Structure 1
Amino acid sequence: MRWDVTTWAVAALVLIAAETLAPGAFLLWMGFAAAAMLLLVLFLPGIPLLAQVALFVVLSFVSIQVYRRWFRNRGRQSDRPLLNRRAEQNIGLVVPLDQAIVGGRGRIRIGDAFWTVEGPDLPAGTPVRVVAADGMTLKVQEA
Protein backbone atom coordinates (compact mmCIF):
# COMPACT_ATOMS: atom_id res chain seq x y z
CA MET A 1 0.00 0.00 0.00
CA ARG A 2 1.31 3.46 -0.86
CA TRP A 3 2.10 5.89 1.95
CA ASP A 4 -0.04 8.73 0.52
CA VAL A 5 -3.14 6.52 0.25
CA THR A 6 -2.61 5.26 3.80
CA THR A 7 -1.99 8.77 5.14
CA TRP A 8 -5.20 10.20 3.62
CA ALA A 9 -7.21 7.18 4.80
CA VAL A 10 -5.96 7.65 8.36
CA ALA A 11 -6.53 11.42 8.18
CA ALA A 12 -10.11 10.92 6.98
CA LEU A 13 -10.87 8.40 9.73
CA VAL A 14 -9.26 10.52 12.46
CA LEU A 15 -11.09 13.69 11.40
CA ILE A 16 -14.46 11.98 11.12
CA ALA A 17 -13.94 10.23 14.48
CA ALA A 18 -12.79 13.48 16.10
CA GLU A 19 -16.17 14.97 15.24
CA THR A 20 -17.68 12.82 17.99
CA LEU A 21 -15.41 14.54 20.54
CA ALA A 22 -15.94 18.08 19.26
CA PRO A 23 -19.45 18.28 17.79
CA GLY A 24 -20.35 21.06 15.45
CA ALA A 25 -19.88 19.40 12.04
CA PHE A 26 -16.63 21.25 11.35
CA LEU A 27 -14.24 18.30 11.49
CA LEU A 28 -16.70 16.06 9.68
CA TRP A 29 -16.45 18.15 6.53
CA MET A 30 -12.66 18.23 6.75
CA GLY A 31 -12.84 14.44 7.02
CA PHE A 32 -14.87 14.38 3.81
CA ALA A 33 -12.17 16.49 2.16
CA ALA A 34 -9.53 13.99 3.35
CA ALA A 35 -11.65 11.14 1.95
CA ALA A 36 -11.84 12.97 -1.38
CA MET A 37 -8.06 13.31 -1.31
CA LEU A 38 -7.82 9.57 -0.59
CA LEU A 39 -9.80 8.81 -3.74
CA LEU A 40 -7.81 11.33 -5.74
CA VAL A 41 -4.39 9.92 -4.82
CA LEU A 42 -5.71 6.37 -5.20
CA PHE A 43 -6.82 6.92 -8.80
CA LEU A 44 -4.24 9.55 -9.82
CA PRO A 45 -0.88 8.44 -8.39
CA GLY A 46 2.12 10.74 -8.56
CA ILE A 47 0.57 13.95 -7.23
CA PRO A 48 3.32 15.87 -5.39
CA LEU A 49 2.94 16.17 -1.60
CA LEU A 50 2.71 19.96 -1.64
CA ALA A 51 -0.05 19.80 -4.25
CA GLN A 52 -1.89 17.22 -2.13
CA VAL A 53 -1.77 19.43 0.95
CA ALA A 54 -2.82 22.52 -1.01
CA LEU A 55 -5.70 20.64 -2.61
CA PHE A 56 -6.77 19.32 0.81
CA VAL A 57 -6.89 22.88 2.16
CA VAL A 58 -8.99 24.01 -0.81
CA LEU A 59 -11.33 21.00 -0.53
CA SER A 60 -11.70 21.58 3.22
CA PHE A 61 -12.61 25.22 2.68
CA VAL A 62 -15.10 24.36 -0.07
CA SER A 63 -16.72 21.54 1.92
CA ILE A 64 -17.10 23.73 5.01
CA GLN A 65 -18.68 26.47 2.89
CA VAL A 66 -21.09 23.92 1.40
CA TYR A 67 -22.05 22.90 4.93
CA ARG A 68 -22.52 26.48 6.10
CA ARG A 69 -24.58 27.51 3.10
CA TRP A 70 -26.84 24.50 2.53
CA PHE A 71 -26.97 22.33 5.64
CA ARG A 72 -26.40 24.46 8.72
CA ASN A 73 -29.74 26.28 8.84
CA ARG A 74 -31.92 23.53 7.41
CA GLY A 75 -32.86 21.94 10.72
CA ARG A 76 -36.40 21.24 11.79
CA GLN A 77 -38.37 24.20 13.04
CA SER A 78 -39.42 23.92 16.66
CA ASP A 79 -43.08 23.74 17.59
CA ARG A 80 -42.14 25.84 20.67
CA PRO A 81 -39.62 28.44 19.45
CA LEU A 82 -39.76 30.43 22.72
CA LEU A 83 -39.14 27.44 24.98
CA ASN A 84 -35.81 28.69 26.35
CA ARG A 85 -36.61 32.39 26.02
CA ARG A 86 -38.48 32.96 29.22
CA ALA A 87 -38.70 36.74 28.97
CA GLU A 88 -40.03 36.67 25.40
CA GLN A 89 -42.81 34.27 26.43
CA ASN A 90 -44.37 37.16 28.36
CA ILE A 91 -44.77 39.50 25.37
CA GLY A 92 -48.42 40.42 24.94
CA LEU A 93 -49.46 39.72 28.55
CA VAL A 94 -51.43 42.36 30.44
CA VAL A 95 -50.67 42.45 34.17
CA PRO A 96 -50.94 45.06 36.93
CA LEU A 97 -47.81 46.83 38.12
CA ASP A 98 -46.59 45.39 41.39
CA GLN A 99 -44.28 48.34 41.99
CA ALA A 100 -44.76 51.77 40.42
CA ILE A 101 -42.60 52.70 37.46
CA VAL A 102 -40.45 55.60 38.67
CA GLY A 103 -37.63 56.97 36.57
CA GLY A 104 -38.50 54.50 33.85
CA ARG A 105 -38.13 51.33 36.00
CA GLY A 106 -40.60 49.29 38.01
CA ARG A 107 -41.66 45.72 38.75
CA ILE A 108 -44.45 43.33 37.82
CA ARG A 109 -45.38 39.86 38.98
CA ILE A 110 -46.10 37.14 36.45
CA GLY A 111 -46.97 33.80 38.01
CA ASP A 112 -44.54 33.31 40.86
CA ALA A 113 -41.76 35.48 39.42
CA PHE A 114 -41.05 39.18 39.68
CA TRP A 115 -39.80 40.96 36.58
CA THR A 116 -38.06 44.30 36.23
CA VAL A 117 -39.89 46.48 33.74
CA GLU A 118 -39.07 49.63 31.84
CA GLY A 119 -41.60 52.09 30.52
CA PRO A 120 -43.34 55.40 31.19
CA ASP A 121 -43.84 56.40 34.82
CA LEU A 122 -47.06 54.83 36.11
CA PRO A 123 -48.51 54.20 39.58
CA ALA A 124 -48.66 50.73 41.16
CA GLY A 125 -51.70 48.67 40.16
CA THR A 126 -51.92 50.15 36.65
CA PRO A 127 -52.46 47.42 34.04
CA VAL A 128 -49.55 47.30 31.61
CA ARG A 129 -48.92 45.29 28.45
CA VAL A 130 -45.53 43.66 27.90
CA VAL A 131 -44.39 44.80 24.45
CA ALA A 132 -40.76 43.63 24.29
CA ALA A 133 -37.99 41.92 26.19
CA ASP A 134 -34.42 43.11 26.57
CA GLY A 135 -32.50 40.35 28.31
CA MET A 136 -34.34 39.82 31.58
CA THR A 137 -35.99 43.27 31.53
CA LEU A 138 -39.47 43.62 30.08
CA LYS A 139 -40.55 46.73 28.18
CA VAL A 140 -44.11 47.76 29.01
CA GLN A 141 -46.73 50.34 28.07
CA GLU A 142 -50.05 51.22 29.67
CA ALA A 143 -52.77 48.78 28.60
Structure 2
Amino acid sequence: MSWNWQTVTWAAIALLLFAAEAMAPGAFMLWLGLAAAVVFGLVLVFPGLTVLAQVAAFVLLSFVSIQVYRTWFRGRERQSDRPLLNRRADQLVGRVVTLERGIVQGSGRVQIADAYWDVTGPELPAGAAVRVIGTDGMTLRVEAVT
Protein backbone atom coordinates (compact mmCIF):
# COMPACT_ATOMS: atom_id res chain seq x y z
CA MET A 1 0.00 0.00 0.00
CA SER A 2 1.31 3.38 -0.95
CA TRP A 3 -0.07 6.82 -0.19
CA ASN A 4 0.69 8.80 -3.32
CA TRP A 5 -1.15 11.82 -4.71
CA GLN A 6 -3.67 9.59 -6.53
CA THR A 7 -4.72 7.78 -3.36
CA VAL A 8 -5.10 11.00 -1.44
CA THR A 9 -7.05 12.55 -4.33
CA TRP A 10 -9.59 9.72 -4.45
CA ALA A 11 -9.96 9.77 -0.67
CA ALA A 12 -10.58 13.53 -0.82
CA ILE A 13 -13.10 13.15 -3.66
CA ALA A 14 -14.99 10.47 -1.71
CA LEU A 15 -15.04 12.60 1.44
CA LEU A 16 -16.17 15.69 -0.49
CA LEU A 17 -19.01 13.75 -2.13
CA PHE A 18 -20.11 12.35 1.24
CA ALA A 19 -20.00 15.87 2.70
CA ALA A 20 -22.05 17.19 -0.24
CA GLU A 21 -24.64 14.49 0.44
CA ALA A 22 -24.76 15.50 4.10
CA MET A 23 -25.22 19.17 3.17
CA ALA A 24 -27.88 18.60 0.50
CA PRO A 25 -29.39 15.15 1.03
CA GLY A 26 -30.99 13.53 -1.94
CA ALA A 27 -29.23 10.15 -2.11
CA PHE A 28 -27.36 11.05 -5.29
CA MET A 29 -23.92 12.16 -4.10
CA LEU A 30 -23.84 9.21 -1.72
CA TRP A 31 -23.60 6.78 -4.62
CA LEU A 32 -20.93 8.82 -6.37
CA GLY A 33 -19.04 8.95 -3.07
CA LEU A 34 -19.24 5.17 -2.78
CA ALA A 35 -17.85 4.85 -6.32
CA ALA A 36 -14.97 7.19 -5.41
CA ALA A 37 -14.33 5.20 -2.23
CA VAL A 38 -14.11 1.96 -4.24
CA VAL A 39 -11.66 3.60 -6.65
CA PHE A 40 -9.68 4.78 -3.60
CA GLY A 41 -9.53 1.14 -2.46
CA LEU A 42 -8.49 -0.01 -5.94
CA VAL A 43 -5.66 2.55 -6.05
CA LEU A 44 -4.49 1.38 -2.62
CA VAL A 45 -4.45 -2.27 -3.70
CA PHE A 46 -3.16 -1.67 -7.25
CA PRO A 47 -0.79 1.34 -7.03
CA GLY A 48 0.24 1.06 -10.70
CA LEU A 49 -3.27 1.79 -12.01
CA THR A 50 -3.20 4.55 -14.63
CA VAL A 51 -5.20 7.74 -14.17
CA LEU A 52 -7.30 6.86 -17.23
CA ALA A 53 -8.18 3.47 -15.72
CA GLN A 54 -9.04 5.15 -12.41
CA VAL A 55 -11.38 7.67 -14.06
CA ALA A 56 -12.94 4.94 -16.21
CA ALA A 57 -13.52 2.82 -13.09
CA PHE A 58 -15.07 5.81 -11.31
CA VAL A 59 -17.44 6.53 -14.21
CA LEU A 60 -18.42 2.86 -14.53
CA LEU A 61 -18.90 2.40 -10.78
CA SER A 62 -20.88 5.64 -10.56
CA PHE A 63 -23.21 4.48 -13.31
CA VAL A 64 -23.64 1.04 -11.74
CA SER A 65 -24.20 2.39 -8.22
CA ILE A 66 -26.80 4.91 -9.39
CA GLN A 67 -28.61 2.16 -11.30
CA VAL A 68 -28.57 0.01 -8.16
CA TYR A 69 -30.10 2.92 -6.24
CA ARG A 70 -32.75 3.56 -8.88
CA THR A 71 -33.67 -0.13 -9.14
CA TRP A 72 -33.66 -1.27 -5.53
CA PHE A 73 -33.90 1.74 -3.23
CA ARG A 74 -35.76 4.56 -4.96
CA GLY A 75 -39.49 4.51 -4.40
CA ARG A 76 -39.35 2.16 -1.43
CA GLU A 77 -39.70 4.93 1.10
CA ARG A 78 -42.42 4.57 3.68
CA GLN A 79 -45.70 6.03 2.42
CA SER A 80 -47.08 8.96 4.36
CA ASP A 81 -50.30 8.60 6.34
CA ARG A 82 -51.08 12.22 5.29
CA PRO A 83 -50.03 12.53 1.63
CA LEU A 84 -51.74 15.93 1.18
CA LEU A 85 -50.06 17.53 4.20
CA ASN A 86 -48.08 20.13 2.25
CA ARG A 87 -50.49 20.42 -0.66
CA ARG A 88 -53.01 22.97 0.63
CA ALA A 89 -54.98 23.36 -2.59
CA ASP A 90 -55.47 19.60 -2.97
CA GLN A 91 -56.80 19.39 0.60
CA LEU A 92 -59.74 21.56 -0.43
CA VAL A 93 -61.10 19.23 -3.14
CA GLY A 94 -64.68 18.26 -2.31
CA ARG A 95 -65.26 21.20 0.01
CA VAL A 96 -68.35 23.40 -0.51
CA VAL A 97 -67.71 27.16 -0.20
CA THR A 98 -69.43 30.44 -1.06
CA LEU A 99 -68.15 32.71 -3.83
CA GLU A 100 -66.89 36.00 -2.47
CA ARG A 101 -66.51 37.44 -5.96
CA GLY A 102 -68.69 35.98 -8.72
CA ILE A 103 -67.18 34.01 -11.55
CA VAL A 104 -67.01 36.30 -14.57
CA GLN A 105 -65.32 35.15 -17.79
CA GLY A 106 -64.29 31.96 -16.03
CA SER A 107 -62.53 33.58 -13.05
CA GLY A 108 -63.67 34.41 -9.51
CA ARG A 109 -62.60 34.30 -5.87
CA VAL A 110 -63.54 32.53 -2.64
CA GLN A 111 -62.46 32.96 0.95
CA ILE A 112 -61.64 29.83 2.89
CA ALA A 113 -60.73 30.48 6.52
CA ASP A 114 -58.29 33.41 6.36
CA ALA A 115 -57.08 32.81 2.80
CA TYR A 116 -58.43 34.02 -0.53
CA TRP A 117 -58.31 31.62 -3.46
CA ASP A 118 -58.73 32.28 -7.16
CA VAL A 119 -61.28 29.97 -8.75
CA THR A 120 -62.23 28.97 -12.27
CA GLY A 121 -65.55 27.58 -13.36
CA PRO A 122 -68.90 28.41 -14.97
CA GLU A 123 -70.41 31.91 -14.76
CA LEU A 124 -71.93 32.29 -11.25
CA PRO A 125 -72.89 35.30 -9.11
CA ALA A 126 -71.23 36.29 -5.84
CA GLY A 127 -72.72 34.38 -2.90
CA ALA A 128 -73.36 31.20 -4.91
CA ALA A 129 -72.36 27.90 -3.31
CA VAL A 130 -69.67 26.01 -5.22
CA ARG A 131 -67.87 22.71 -4.75
CA VAL A 132 -64.11 22.46 -5.32
CA ILE A 133 -63.61 19.72 -7.92
CA GLY A 134 -59.89 20.08 -8.60
CA THR A 135 -56.85 22.29 -8.61
CA ASP A 136 -54.62 23.87 -11.20
CA GLY A 137 -51.56 25.00 -9.26
CA MET A 138 -52.92 27.46 -6.70
CA THR A 139 -56.21 28.01 -8.57
CA LEU A 140 -59.24 25.99 -7.56
CA ARG A 141 -61.60 24.53 -10.16
CA VAL A 142 -65.21 24.72 -8.98
CA GLU A 143 -68.70 23.72 -10.05
CA ALA A 144 -72.10 24.96 -8.91
CA VAL A 145 -73.72 23.05 -6.06
CA THR A 146 -77.15 21.80 -7.09
| TM-score (ref. length: structure 2) | 0.83
Distance 2:132 2:88 in 1: 13
Residues 35-58 of structure 1: per-residue CA shift (max 9 Å, x gap): 222333344453322111111111
**Residue in 1 aligned with 2:69?**
67
In 2 relative to 1, CA 137–14 (structure 1 residues): closer, same or farther, beyond 3 Å? closer
SS of aligned partner of 1:87: helix
1:75-86 to 2 correspondence within 5 Å? 75-86=77-88
SS of aligned partner of 2:88: coil
SS of aligned partner of 1:15: helix
**Residue in 2 aligned with 1:28?**
30
Residues 73-106 of structure 1: per-residue CA shift (max 9 Å, x gap): 2222222211111111110011222222111111
**Residue in 1 aligned with 2:89?**
87
Match of 2:135 among 118, 133, 138: 133
Which deviates further from its counterpart, 64-73 or 48-57? Answer: 64-73
Count of equivalent residues: 143
SS of aligned partner of 1:115: strand
Which deviates further from its counterpart, 90-99 or 32-41? Answer: 32-41
| TM-score (ref. length: structure 1) | 0.84
Q: How far did 1:133 drift? A: 0.9
Distance 1:125 1:35 in 2: 65
SS of aligned partner of 1:131: strand
In 2 relative to 1, CA 14–125 (structure 1 residues): closer, same or farther, beyond 3 Å? closer
In 2 relative to 1, CA 122–18 (structure 1 residues): closer, same or farther, beyond 3 Å? closer
* Structure 1 stretches lacking a partner, 5+ long: none
**Residue in 2 aligned with 1:48?**
50
* Structure 2 stretches lacking a partner, 5+ long: none
**Residue in 2 aligned with 1:122?**
124
Query: Percent sequence identity over matched residues?
Result: 62
